[in-house]
Amino acid sequence: MSRSERLVPAAAALLALALTGTACDGGVRGTPGGSGVRDPYFPQAGNGGYDVTHYALTLDYTPKGRHLTGRAVITAQATQDLSAFDLDLAGLRVDAVTVEGKDARWNRAGQELTVRPRDDLSKGETFRVTVDYSGTPRTLTDPDGSEEGWLPTADGALGLGEPVGSMAWFPSDNHPSDKATYDIAITVPKGLQAVSNGELTGQSDKGGRTTYHWHSGRPMASYLATVAVGHYTIKRSTGPHGLPLLTAVDPTQAEASAGVLAKIPEILDWEELNFGPYPFSSAGAIVDRPHDAGYALETQNRPVFPGPPAISTLVHELAHEWYGDSVTPTSWRDMWLNEGFATYAEWLWAEDHGGPSAQKQFTDLYDGDDEAVWAFPPARPSSAAHISDSPVYERGAMVLQKIRQKVGDDTFYDIIQGWAAAHRYGGASTADFTAYVEKKAPDHDFGEIWKDWLYGDGKPAHP
């Protein structure tokens, strides 16, 4: 049997039992990496035994027929002696797998693509795995009923990944705890555009098709990767300090979007003042038609919007470039570190631009009759279906306002700017955040805030 031939599950299991701990080169004796990193809400997401440093994705997509052909070259470092490892890939047909240029055995089970290299990998070894795949990418349904993955649009497609949808269009270590740089090349029929993260580094035509090359030089979680295929009006401009801006807008939305998108430089300038230097080398937005997606998403460098966004929504999604994209949660339990911060950015924008103060917005929520805010504590969502519910957003923002009440403005801004700087391009947990706050404000007792507002059930007794 060819080493590149797919193994049926029973044969794969027998092979694993027979060969575990035996290296073909007689040297390293590895064991399989784990399937899933045991995230409390998405236990199958991600994989053990390695860290990815770079994805090089070569994609070819034809909207008519919805056919995708892909090659993923994944550069990673083994964190243990490895005899096998998993990648996350939902649907699509695997055509070939190699590790370090040698055909590898592989098998499929649900979203798990298990790869056994010809030679075991040593702990600390950098290796490349290449996966060739093709087919019709899936639209996945989240536990909360929203759709992600590969979303067909009127003239193309949107690849959206939060929380696990990226595995519908490329194999990956699909968990926010493993970030990597990206090169994404997308070939589409001539006349269509293909927009992705980072900067456009090249564009070429051949045989009636156009290839767009995009590069993201800063680490990115897999859920933040995006591809938008369709007809777009592309505009380039500059933001603060000459920051390159690129917006891609469906022509049917261009006129209605122009005014709000023109505020991107102003918003970024204001957010730099509040949150510290912008963390990436470009910014912008992608605006598709309403109903192409059911939500806006903070895809890195340029968030995606279904139709023209409100200013508050644009403020929110751009704030994620600091909180969520640059500083990424190490677990989906810590989603409030994304959404609570971005919601609080909306409050601060309103406070600075003639709207209600952050304290008034806090008080209105506390005195209001929306019981959903108190359904569960922001740092402990009740299930995967609720990681995007009101407590994560609004009550998460209330936690930040409580900290601001406690320490005053000067220390508060030191905290939120310092937090973004201390964990830039990395990952962090709620425990990391509470420890950071206590370190920055050692003369204050935050026990009540953590107990009642961050982790406590129900509505706290005192605002």
Q: Consecutive 10-residue runs of the chain (463 residues): their mean pLDDT?
A: 37 41 57 95 97 98 97 98 98 98 97 98 98 98 96 97 98 98 98 98 98 98 98 98 98 98 98 98 98 96 98 98 98 98 98 98 97 98 97 98 98 98 98 98 98 97 88
Q: How many CB atoms lie within 10 A of CB 99?
A: 22
Residue 431 is predicted with a pLDDT of 98
The one-letter code for the residue type at 347 is: W
**What pLDDT, on the 0 to 100 scale, is given for residue 419?**
98
- How many C-beta atoms lie closer than 10 Å to residue 1's C-beta? 8
What pTM was estimated for this model as a whole? 0.93
User: Which value, in Å, is the radius of gyration of the alpha carbons in the chain?
Assistant: 23
pLDDT (0 to 100) of residue 462: 85
- On the question of a cis peptide bond just before residue 163, with omega within 30 degrees of 0, the verdict is yes
Secondary structure (3-state) at 431: helix
Instruction: Dump pLDDT digits (tens) for 339-383.
Output: 999 999 999 999 999 999 999 999 999 999 999 999 999 999 999
Q: What pLDDT score does 80 carry? A: 98
Determine the pLDDT at residue 28: 74
- Please write the tens of the pLDDT for every residue from 339-350: 999 999 999 999
User: At CA 218, angle to CA 297 and CA 112, rounded to 5?
Assistant: 65
Return the pLDDT at 12. 45
Could you tell me if 191 and 219 are in contact, meaning their C-beta atoms sit under 8 angstroms apart? Answer: no
Phi-psi region of 336 (alpha: psi -120 to 50; beta: other; left: phi over 0): alpha
Q: Name the CA dihedral angle for 113, 44, 297, 62, rounded to a multiple of 10 degrees.
A: 20
- How far apart, in whole angstroms, are the C-alpha atoms of residue 127 and residue 148? 30
Query: Which of 212, 129, 213, 216 is closest to 181 using CA atoms?
Result: 216
Helix, strand, coil share (%) of the chain residues, nearest 5 = 30, 30, 40
Whether the Cβ atoms of residue 92 and residue 150 lie closer than 8 Å to each other: no
Q: Cβ neighbours of residue 245 under 8 Å, at least 6 residues apart?
A: 236, 237, 238, 239, 264, 265, 282, 283, 284
